[in-house]
Chains A and B, each alone.
Chain A
Amino acid sequence: MSQNIIDLKNITKIFDDETLVLDNINLYIRKNEFLTLLGPSGCGKTTTLRIIGGFEYPTEGDVFFEGKRINDLPPYKRQINTVFQKYALFPHMNIFENIAFGLRIKKMPEKEIKIKVEEMLQLVGLQNFAKRSVESLSGGQQQRVAIARALVNEPEVLLLDEPLGALDLKLRKGMQIELKKIQQEVGITFVYVTHDQEEALTMSDTIAVMNEGKIQQIGTPEDIYNEPKTAFIADFIGESNIVKGIMIRDYLVEFANRTFECVDKDFGENTEVEVVVRPEDIEITSAETGMLKGEVITSTFKGVHYEMIVKENGRHWMIHSTDMAPVGSYIGMNIGPDLIHIMEKGA
């Protein structure tokens, strides 16, 4: 408990007495970790963040900060700062004043303010921008100012609500690396909200995948990607082939009209399950030797790999491979036992 900086206990949030946004969320955030709330829009991730920030009050449940219940603490009394989705920089102040805002409220001496703001501008690489107006900055620069404005207050926790959503792809990639670097440099807890699975995998220490107001899985990026607990996660994190199957017994599953060895157990015998196979885990062989056979319907060059759709007995399989099979050809597909992921049905 003591090393958890934030604990969410049985948080439920209902909007307007009818819309269930969060359904009994339990989540703990450790000190100095980079935690990402990942999920499609409307899954409740932003609401979770706003409850931590103090902008929403949970309908049920408690929020703890270093073990103390903070449900009733207004945002301005929390040692938490937020980087808002659309930056929310004050348009009537220049960059220096924006960053100094929090320090001015704390009545810090002018000299100290100057030193701290300069430090922050240095950290986010905007040394010569102090006197500039907000609107003269590009989206990426405004984003940095928003981060500096939050960090200068030395919060225990920094909340980031899809901060890179408005940036173009290249800038976003650069900022991902930079944000991670900043987090390691200042050594504080980041809680990051995004719907971009790649962003989550790149930056996080821990990912909490959310859907329909519930947390589906919490784990390291590797765990989440390699061992997704539900078909939803498998589908949401990266691309997946999901087919119906029957778990015959431990280590043996039947799908696509044949049995496969696998590494999963404890599902019981003859249980209906969902089988998830990553497109890059399907190996292309000749039609004679493959476990499954099918006709290549489309084949698209994607840069590093080819993406092929193969039709097998009415089912479509997506394959990512550096080998290309021409459209119309018949190929075989092999799947190794450890690359077959078994999910409970309907989970």
Chain B
Amino acid sequence: MKSNQKILAYPYVVWLVIFIVVPLILVLYFSLSFRDGGLTLENYRRFMTPIYGKVLYRSLKLAFISTVFCLILGYPMAMIIARADISKRNLMVLLFVLPMWMNFLLRTYAWMTLLGKNGVINNVLGYFNLPTLNLLYNNGAVILGMIYNFIPFMVLPIYSVLAKMDKTLIEAAKDLGANEITVFRKVTFPLSLPGVITGITMVFMPAVSTFVIPKLLGGGQFMLIGNLVEQQFTYVYDWNFGSAISIIMMIFILIAMAITTKYEDPAEESGGLW
């Protein structure tokens, strides 16, 4: 029985080795070598210049802001869904997930037509003789795009933790004298932390590395680290430097995750990604 179960794991192990472990080692190797072979730290040293530091800083900052907004907007939404009747609940979750079935690029292009100089919003403003706004190609547009695209990843894990939460715990807290605010502060929120951490992880990681959103909504002038990596691989053909940036980015994501996971109760494993 036991050996049978082990056999079932082999296809995945093979997959894991070919498509995850080997490429990771390759990326690491590329990052530590010259274009024509020979080991070096030159690629990493090159990143330690102010220009690239700025790109990294801007990427982390925008990803951080987007994650915070996703949390502020997503938590109440998750709560509303979790408290709704079962029949309404499924519909609400579906509405949240439905846009994700559409192509990611298409959705981001849609924002361009909404925000553009001659876009829908400015047309409406012009109709009422109001001054038009520069909505596209700035930090705000990039953050908006990130929030729009990644907020389901915040809402769903929080929702699933809240929906599973034992309602009698809330009643017990009220019974012991806690009003609605205290119940949230002392019971509901602490118990939903695993979901919050998963949500943060799942929003922050793609937000920090995305290159489509800054490219389309940031107009290319707002280069983020994802764009930098893309550029190295597709235009400059400097795979070695691109690999080094990727590794650096991974390290930063790992650090960010380590910080968030620290605030999680080690005994509580349900719903957590780490």
Contact surface of A with B, Cβ cutoff 8 Å: 53-55, 74-76, 80-82, 84-86, 88-92, 101-102, 105-106, 133, 135, 149-150, 153
- Report the minimal beta-carbon distance from A87 to chain B, rounded to whole angstroms: 9
Interface size class of B (residues with CB under 8 A): 20 to 34
B 162-182 to A, binary, CB cutoff 8 A, 1 in contact else 0: 000010110111111111001
Q: Which 4 A-B pairs have the closest CB atoms?
A: A102-B176, A88-B172, A88-B168, A75-B174
Please tell me if the beta carbons of B268 and A84 are within 8 angstroms of each other in the complex: no
Known: A91-B268, A105-B178, A135-B267. A82 touches B172 (CB 8 A): yes
Known: A91-B191, A92-B265, A135-B267. A84 touches B176 (CB 8 A): no
Q: Which residues of B contact A133 (CB under 8 A)?
A: 267
Q: Which residues of A contact B190 (CB under 8 A)?
A: 92
Known: A92-B268, A101-B186. A75 touches B175 (CB 8 A): yes
Please tell me if the beta carbons of A81 and B268 are within 8 angstroms of each other in the complex: no
Complex CA–CA separation, A213 to B224 (angstroms):
67
Contact surface of B with A, Cβ cutoff 8 Å: 166, 168-169, 171-179, 182, 186-187, 190-191, 265, 267-268
Known: A84-B168, A92-B265. A76 touches B191 (CB 8 A): no
A-B contact sample (16 more), CB < 8 A, given A90-B191, A150-B175: A55-B171, A74-B179, A76-B177, A80-B175, A84-B171, A88-B166, A88-B171, A88-B172, A90-B172, A92-B191, A92-B268, A101-B173, A101-B186, A105-B176, A105-B182, A133-B267
- Report the minimal beta-carbon distance from A186 to chain B, rounded to whole angstroms: 17
Query: Could you list 28 examples of A-B contacts with CB < 8 Å?
Result: A55-B171, A55-B174, A74-B179, A75-B171, A76-B174, A81-B176, A82-B171, A84-B171, A86-B166, A86-B168, A88-B169, A88-B171, A90-B169, A90-B191, A91-B191, A91-B268, A92-B191, A92-B265, A92-B268, A101-B173, A105-B177, A105-B182, A133-B267, A135-B267, A149-B176, A150-B176, A153-B176, A153-B177
Please tell me if the beta carbons of A74 and B174 are within 8 angstroms of each other in the complex: yes
Q: Which residues of A contact B168 (CB under 8 A)?
A: 84-86, 88
- Report the minimal beta-carbon distance from B258 to chain A, rounded to whole angstroms: 21
Complex CA–CA separation, A80 to B171 (angstroms):
13
Please tell me if the beta carbons of A101 and B176 are within 8 angstroms of each other in the complex: yes
Complex CA–CA separation, A106 to B177 (angstroms):
8
Known: A88-B166, A90-B187, A105-B182. A76 touches B175 (CB 8 A): yes
Complex CA–CA separation, A91 to B270 (angstroms):
12
Q: Which residues of B contact A149 (CB under 8 A)?
A: 176
